[in-house]
Structure 1
């Protein structure tokens, strides 16, 4: 459901008191000692009025103005909540990385805005981005909104996801051999891979007979026999921008469909947006997109892990300066 599942000390205390009260009440009929304790300590004391459930805790968490933003965003209809929290139960990250991502989700990273607006630190004069990009330095700004990081850190995170997809497509369609299967961070995609049945582009401009502004998707896959083309484009926005980014990708490449059909003599061109949030939220539409290009079930889990690791690296590096 989110968070690290830390024990609720107050709730644990209530459960222990109620458990002891029930125990002595049941034993009081058969033991004079238990009966004496029951009369002295529990007979006149009220029962514990309320013991919190997980749903109670979740609602309390959502009600918090700052810390509740992430669980509210994860509970939206367009988000797969269970998949979004997979990295928490998979046991695939170091505890330090896991804890740091939780701090990012809870928005307790000491950014300039957090120090000035939340902690009221009088030593912080300005809450503008320390990289000088004329924006307020919030955690959302650092994870996916700083123009100074767009050409470096964000590109590396973005490419880590694209490399996974490219390598998987190349292996599936026999464009590379299984001996070339390496971890995504070591994989170096070729600009063009082709055999008698498929053609695969990596970050390559698609030339058309008329000017099309958006003509460079991350991946282009062509099935020559079925005369089909898939335009795959990846984005890693903040949580509140998942749906908008999905539709933005479709609109962006819609003008490229007709020129490709005409020039390459294909019947179908499909746009496949691959969207995952900077903190690992998985939109429901991501599963449909991955099924469209026949990706294995586990691929979104690898993508999520790569994004979480990359985002924590970006924030650590940013805060270290």
Structure 2
């Protein structure tokens, strides 16, 4: 498995993704779905093509194919149209697809939760958890985690005072 990973990492185009997420993800846990999952190779292939920017976006066409068209996103026109931008940054998609994806993940609990900010607060016997669902691009996991920790620091302090328990 390590030989395959090294080979993948050393490829000029495909290795860019691994370099981009290096140090920002738990590499062991991130790839467990490849060895422990039930997806077939043919089903995983489109995911890897997207991660490796191997899908014909405006940015790929402009930079790699040297086409005359703009590399900008065809929806928002604010940033280069990369897969990462389409998956998690485009402002035109943010209020529809991203929000729906967020809500689907937040609803995967055993009970119905009222709309809150954060999405969920669980008060356990020994601990309190603040849960705010986010689905950032792979390279922004750490950044998004720090953003959420900072955002809820005051709430964390208040919950510790209220419940006399550690808050995560």
- TM-score over 0.5 for the pair: yes
Counterpart CA distance in 2 for 1:163 and 1:157 is 10
Structure 2 equivalent of residue 317 of structure 1:
none
- Pick which of 143-152 and 155-164 moved more: 155-164
Q: Is the 8 A contact 1:107 1:139 kept in 2?
A: yes
Whether the 8 Å CA contact 2:8–2:15 is kept in 1: the answer is: yes
User: Unaligned regions of 5+ residues in structure 2, if any?
Assistant: none
Please give the per-residue CA displacement for 1:233-290, whole angstroms capped at 9, x wherever unaligned: 122212222222212111110012344455xx3112523xxxxxxxxxxxxxxxxxxx
Instruction: Choose which of 48, 65, 71 in structure 2 pairs with 1:102.
Output: 48
| 3-state secondary structure, aligned to 2:132 | strand
| Distance in 1 separating the partners of 2:154 and 2:84 | 31
1:248 equivalent to 2:147? Answer: yes
Q: Which has the larger radius of gyration?
A: 1
1:82 aligns with 2:24: no
Query: In the alignment, which of 249, 253, 267 is matched to residue 164 of structure 2?
Result: 267
Q: 1:190 & 1:250 partners in 2: Cα distance?
A: 21
CA distance in 2, matches of 1:84, 1:130: 31
The Cα offsets for residues 114-140 of structure 1, whole Å up to 9 and x where unpaired, read as: 011012234xx2121111342110111
User: Which of residues 120, 126, 138 in structure 2 aligns to 1:219?
Assistant: 120
Q: Does 1:70 align with 2:51?
A: no
Partner of 1:255, secondary structure, is helix
- With over 3 angstroms needed to count, the CA separation of the structure-2 counterparts of 1:228 and 1:85, relative to structure 1, is closer
Distance 1:97 1:146, change over 3 A: farther
1:227–1:266 contact (8 Å) kept in structure 2: no
Gaps spanning 5+ residues in structure 1: where? 2-53, 171-188, 192-202, 205-215, 272-321
Residue 120 of structure 1: aligned partner: 66
| Alignment RMSD (CA, Å) | 2.6
Task: Give the total of aligned pairs.
Answer: 168
Name the TM-score, length of structure 2 as normaliser.
0.82
